[in-house]
Amino acid sequence: MKRPPPSALEQAVVVDLTAVIVGVSDDQPKVLVLPRRGGTGPLEALPSGPLQLRHRTLEAGLRAWVEAQTGASLGYVEQLYTFGDQDRAAEPGGARRVLSIGYLALTRAAASPAPGETEWRDWYRYFPWEDWRQGRPAVLGRLERGLRRWVTAARAGAERGARSERVRLAFGLDGAAWSDERVLDRYELLYEIGLVAEAMRQGVAGALAVDRTKLAAQPMAADHRRILATAIARLRSKIKYRPVVFELMAPTFTFLQLQRAVETLAGVRLHKQNFRRLVSQRGLVEETGSIVTGTGGRPARELRYRQEAILERPAPGVRLPAVRGE
């Protein structure tokens, strides 16, 4: 076994625990950020901190940091991904390797003012092309030009074909469908091409020399926008097969409020009657018996989440055509 003695080639490692704390308010998806942090310049950052000896588990460490930095304690938490590219998240000075473990946390607290020095920010501020609720977002036009320039910059042939397919799939061009879940694919592609500010900071080879002000959307510190993209992608995917939306809702709500929350996260509009049918058929909610007025129209029935829901069915998900015994 070619296993060298430990420590021979190893490197000092700092493990950074980073949280994407999501909430919904005013029909907008919100994420908790630290507006700026000493040293990193005027960039917004996600709450994070290094793993320490006293943290028994990674998740415990994350919860401790978030509590220290925001005063809020987290409910639903889920690990997302561990990033560790040497050239995308080096420590200033580059002495130690930085590993960042990203987490997604869901909270109902976005309606209240953000605690401490934090702010709730609309996540589409960082990813304006992801919001299709009002139809195709305008930014996409500008991005598309940059993307096509990158495709044609390749010599015709295999490389160009590959680039073209990648762009087509990620951004739903030339007849391909837009997929709300490819948030990370899109961000990574833009990074690679050099269309986001983070790429310029890290000096990506071939980064387009575009005026900073024209670079796509609001950047974040370190690789935090990448982690946020991962979180959005995961949440958009999960919302379709697990009842996670309810983690973001008040204890009681109406069908429309629930629908708006889902639309907000998925970035698309849904068909009202069918959404209602879907939710009630799945048995995910039950009526409280009360009626909510002031909806701007006919009063709505008040609903609450049915805890027992998950217990009953094996949780939707795409099923395989199983058979009993054959």
Q: Which member of 87, 177, 293, 308 binds DNA (CB under 7 A)?
A: 293
Which partner in DNA, its own copies, none is near 237 (CB below 5 to 8 A by kind)?
its own copies
Q: Give the separation between CA 164 and CA 147, rounded to whole angstroms.
A: 9
* Span 287-306, contacts to its own copies by CB under 8 A: none
Task: List all residues 6 or more positions away from 303 whose beta carbon is below 8 Å from its beta carbon.
Answer: 252, 253, 254, 255, 258, 285, 286, 287, 288
Which partner in its own copies, DNA, none is near 298 (CB below 5 to 8 A by kind)?
DNA
* Span 79-98, contacts to its own copies by CB under 8 A: 79, 81-87, 97
CA 46 to chain centre: 12
* Span 300-319, contacts to DNA by CB under 7 A: 300-301, 318-319
Contact segment (CB under 8 A) with its own copies among 151-159, 178-186, 206-214, 219-227 equals 178-186
213 binds DNA (CB under 7 A): no
68 binds its own copies (CB under 8 A): yes
Q: Which member of 129, 179, 280, 296 binds its own copies (CB under 8 A)?
A: 179
Minimum gap (Å) between residue 325 Cβ and DNA? 9
Which partner in DNA, its own copies, none is near 77 (CB below 5 to 8 A by kind)?
none
298 binds DNA (CB under 7 A): yes
**Secondary structure class of 103 (helix, strand, coil):** strand
Tokens 């500010």 locate to: 197
Which partner in its own copies, DNA, none is near 15 (CB below 5 to 8 A by kind)?
its own copies
Contact segment (CB under 7 A) with DNA among 105-113, 125-133, 170-178, 287-295 equals 287-295
Report angle CA 186, 190, 196 to the nearest 5 degrees.
125
Q: Give the separation between CA 161 and CA 181, rounded to whole angstroms.
A: 23
19 binds its own copies (CB under 8 A): no
Which partner in DNA, its own copies, none is near 301 (CB below 5 to 8 A by kind)?
DNA
Burial of 73 (0-12, 13-18, 19+ CB in 10 A): exposed
Minimum gap (Å) between residue 248 Cβ and DNA? 18
Q: Which member of 273, 289, 308, 311 binds DNA (CB under 7 A)?
A: 273
238 binds its own copies (CB under 8 A): no
* Span 133-162, contacts to its own copies by CB under 8 A: 135
Go through the chain and tell me how many residues it has.
Answer: 326
Q: Give the separation between CA 172 and CA 175, rounded to whole angstroms.
A: 7
- Tell me the per-residue interface mask from 243 to 272 with its own copies, x by CB under 8 A, - otherwise: -------------------x---x-xxxxx
Minimum gap (Å) between residue 298 Cβ and DNA? 3
Are the C-beta atoms of residues 129 and 139 closer than 8 Å to each other?
yes
134 binds DNA (CB under 7 A): no
297-316 as b/e: b if 16+ CB within 10 A: eeebebbbbbeebeeeeeee
DSSP assignment letter at 45: B
- Other CB atoms closer than 10 Å to residue 278's CB: what's the count? 13
Are the C-beta atoms of residues 226 and 187 closer than 8 Å to each other?
yes
The candidate with the shortest Cα–Cα distance to 119, out of 42, 59, 30, is 30
237 binds DNA (CB under 7 A): no
Binding site for DNA (CB under 7 A): 254-256, 271-274, 276-278, 281, 291, 293-301, 318-319, 321-324
